[in-house]
Copies of this chain bind each other. A is one copy, B any other.
């Protein structure tokens, strides 16, 4: 792995194609949260064909954590809709490999793991609606991503906890605007799934997000009067891979997403 040049590179105003080139060359191996302002980013889940129906059904039954943007045919590596020149095997800065419910590797590309029977799912990502929050001047405090005690709706072999990304807002106006704006982005998780005390959905310590999430919170606990809101999160398939013990599955590493050629607003429903 080459050195990460993130101190020298500022990807915020790059075009997706240019940014993905850096990623492909492993000149950018860090998180994508501030890459390519305004462009939609996606979560990734790749499963063998024999599990593709169960997984697509799982997504259909759990549209908040797993909104489906594009599904490739088996063995196909190029997302025709989202980025017609990308190769999904090298387009993300970091992946995760799951075998029988255990994470066994976090490679920078999946060329060595690729198989002709793999079906790639691109799932909407909250990074996309955060551009819209920022454009609307709605500030938030970021926490991590957490497993909850809320079970997803199962489908075939797939079952597991709903995972959420957490943000706090300093007053009712900002919280209301955040609900309105994220509701315009149904394919990017849409509105929050919960508002209130994290303990009520089984989140023990906001300062300690689940160990499989490398993206740490900026603060450990909310200020007085802050409104906590929880959105469906694209790490849900990873928690599900673990709980379902699926023989083989590839995902993105949390916060290391796929940057598409589409503006987030192209997916807005209103």
Contact = CB atoms under 8 A, between A and B. Distances in A.
B56 A183 contact: no
Q: Report which residue of A56, A183, A190 has the largest number of chain B beta carbons within 10 angstroms of its beta carbon.
A: A56
A248 B209 CA distance: 49
Contact of A56 (B53, B184, B190): B53
Contacts of A71: 57, 60-61
A270 interface: yes
Interface string A176-194: 0000000110100010000
A120 to B, nearest CB: 12
Interface string A60-95: 110000001001000000000000000000000000
A190 B269 contact: yes
A128 to B, nearest CB: 16
A157 interface: no
A52 interface: yes
A269 B187 CA distance: 11
Give the size range of A's interface with the partner.
10 to 19
Contacts of A270: 183-184, 270
A183 B269 contact: yes
Contacts of A57: 56, 71
A190 B270 CA distance: 10
A47 to B, nearest CB: 12
Contact of A60 (B68, B184, B190): B68
Interface in A25-66: 52-53, 56-57, 60-61
Contacts of A53: 52-53, 56
Contacts of A184: 270
A234 to B, nearest CB: 17
A49 to B, nearest CB: 9
Nearest to A54: B53
Interface string A235-270: 000000000000000000000000000000000011
12 contacts: A52-B53, A53-B53, A53-B56, A56-B56, A57-B71, A60-B60, A60-B71, A183-B269, A183-B270, A184-B270, A186-B269, A190-B269
Given A53-B56, A60-B71, 17 more contacts: A52-B53, A53-B53, A56-B56, A56-B57, A56-B60, A57-B71, A60-B60, A60-B68, A61-B71, A183-B269, A183-B270, A184-B270, A186-B186, A186-B269, A190-B269, A269-B269, A270-B270
